[in-house]
């Protein structure tokens, strides 16, 4: 990949900036954590879909823009700089690739356009109580009854299930076979009778995740993806796509840049020295910058491999580990910059309440707590190290 961007690439970058200037308001580029509703999120998704930019990595025949890896890189960088909402990962980075790779033609026609346009909001039914890192031990069962499966069980840590129209679910369809040979991949309408969603409030005070209970939920057999009991193959394929997107390199670069700005702002420190003058603090920032650059080049190599026709492989585990570690280190540094103003819990302030301390401190602690999850979800970092040991190092 040529990182000395060509004239054509710079023109492409300007096209993205012009689109963002027209469609993404300046007041949203604040760097602060912004609460948003389902409708607002879907509206932004649809704008990108209408432009043909919502799924940069999808094949062109299914709605991807046909960009080169360099164009994908530039697009992600400009989106991060503008601090836009992330595109719904469950649609674009997870179930979409599974559907266009493994589903039958009727399922592709039924689900891909709606997934691309966010007419369906998907959530992920993978983790269960007792089945997280050891996902193959899941116990949610689907028993065939004529033209339907009858599903019973529960899922947990189901992100944004309170907004979802459909859930893609791993279920056990053979109680006698080995764990990895007994799982199927089902698409389930969340309006089906027997589904209950209960919120889980995180340490940061957010309602991001949920428990989902399934009691005698009848799912048409036509909603089975691929072959019965072959779901483990599709699940692993999805996880590799998910992990590739978790690194968040451009978002980390933007967060670190803003953190530098705040730590260099003399107006925040009065007569005291600014934080960026502290040698120990500068060392921490420099170490993160170097690690972030190394991660970025690894991501670029993965993109180049993708351009050559390779799907995401074991390098997605490297991206997942290093990306999530960097996100946690940056959130830790943000607490250090906030100082004692990070102590009060200030989420959910109303318009009549004045935050204690500068604006950048309001979400520092909540952001720190929220980022603790990143090294666990998408397959814990310990599991990723095992994958690297086997698939890359041959141990």
Prediction pTM value: 0.83
- Could you tell me whether strands 148-155 and 122-125 are parallel, antiparallel, or unpaired per DSSP bridges? unpaired
The Cα–Cα gap between 66 and 83 comes to 24
Please write down the long-range contacts of 357-361, taking CB distance under 8 Å and 24 or more positions apart.
358/262, 358/268, 359/32, 360/31, 360/32, 360/258, 360/262, 360/334, 361/337
For the four alpha carbons of 36, 41, 42 and 46, in that order, the dihedral sign comes to: positive
Q: What is the pLDDT of residue 229?
A: 96
Read off the pLDDT band of 102 (50, 70, 90). Answer: very high
pLDDT top residue among 93 and 358? 93
Among 128, 242, 299, 315, which one carries the catalytic annotation?
242
Which of 194-203, 234-243, 306-315, 345-354 is predicted least confidently? 345-354
Name, of 7-16, 23-32, 82-91, 314-323, the range with top average pLDDT.
7-16
Read off the pLDDT band of 177 (50, 70, 90). Answer: confident
Token pair, residue 302, equals 């993965």
User: Is 27 a residue whose pLDDT tops 80?
Assistant: no
Average pLDDT rounded to a whole number, residues 212-230: 97
pLDDT digits (tens, 9 = 90+) for 306-322: 666 666 677 788 888 99
The structural domains of the chain, ordered by start, are 7-87 (no CATH), 122-228 (2.40.110.10), 245-393 (1.20.140.10)
Q: Is 242 a catalytic residue?
A: yes
User: Is 31 a residue whose pLDDT tops 70?
Assistant: no
Asked if 212 and 196 touch (Cβ cutoff 8 Å), the reply is yes
Q: How far apart are the first and last CA of the chain?
A: 31
H or E stretch at 152: strand 148-155
Average pLDDT over the chain reads 87
User: Is 352 a residue whose pLDDT tops 60?
Assistant: yes
pLDDT digits (tens, 9 = 90+) for 108-140: 999 999 999 999 999 999 999 988 777 888 999
Read off the pLDDT band of 6 (50, 70, 90). Answer: confident
- Whole-angstrom CA distances from 46 to 39, 115, 178, 334 are 10, 11, 42, 33
């Amino acid at each position: 990949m040529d990182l000395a961007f060509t004239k054509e690439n710079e023109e492409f970058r300007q096209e993205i900036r012009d689109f963002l200037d027209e469609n993404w308001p300046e007041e949203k580029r604040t760097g602060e954590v912004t609460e948003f509703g389902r409708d607002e999120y879907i509206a932004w998704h649809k704008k990108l879909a209408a432009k043909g930019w919502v799924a940069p990595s999808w094949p062109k025949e299914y709605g991807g823009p046909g960009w080169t890896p360099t164009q994908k890189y530039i697009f992600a960088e400009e989106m991060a700089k503008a601090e836009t909402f992330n595109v719904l990962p469950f649609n674009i980075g997870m179930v979409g690739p599974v559907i266009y790779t493994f589903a039958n033609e009727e399922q592709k026609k039924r689900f891909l356009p709606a997934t691309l346009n966010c007419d369906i909001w998907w959530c992920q039914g993978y983790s269960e109580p007792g089945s997280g890192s050891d996902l193959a031990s899941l116990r949610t069962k689907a028993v065939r009854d004529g033209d339907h499966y009858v599903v019973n069980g529960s899922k947990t840590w189901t992100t944004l299930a309170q907004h979802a129209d459909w859930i893609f679910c791993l279920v056990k369809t053979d109680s006698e076979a080995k764990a990895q040979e007994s799982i199927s991949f089902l698409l389930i309408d969340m309006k089906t009778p027997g589904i209950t969603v209960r919120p889980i409030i995180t340490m940061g005070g957010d309602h991001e995740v949920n428990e989902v209970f399934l009691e005698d939920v009848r799912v048409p057999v036509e909603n089975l993806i691929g072959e019965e009991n072959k779901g483990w193959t599709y699940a692993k394929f999805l996880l590799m796509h998910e992990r590739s997107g978790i690194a968040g390199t451009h978002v980390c670069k933007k967060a670190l840049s803003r953190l530098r700005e705040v730590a260099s702002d003399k107006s925040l420190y009065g007569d005291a020295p600014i934080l960026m003058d502290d040698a120990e603090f500068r060392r921490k920032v420099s170490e993160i910058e170097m690690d972030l650059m190394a991660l970025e080049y690894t991501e670029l190599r993965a993109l180049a491999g993708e351009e050559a026709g390779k799907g995401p492989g074991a390098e997605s585990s490297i991206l997942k580990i290093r990306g999530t570690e960097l996100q946690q280190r940056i959130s830790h540094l943000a607490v250090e910059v906030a100082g004692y103003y990070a102590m009060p819990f200030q989420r959910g302030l109303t318009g009549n309440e004045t935050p204690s301390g500068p604006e950048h401190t309001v979400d520092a602690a909540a952001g720190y707590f929220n980022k603790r999850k990143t090294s666990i979800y998408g397959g814990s970092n310990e599991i990723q190290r095992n994958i690297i040991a086997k698939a890359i190092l041959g141990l």
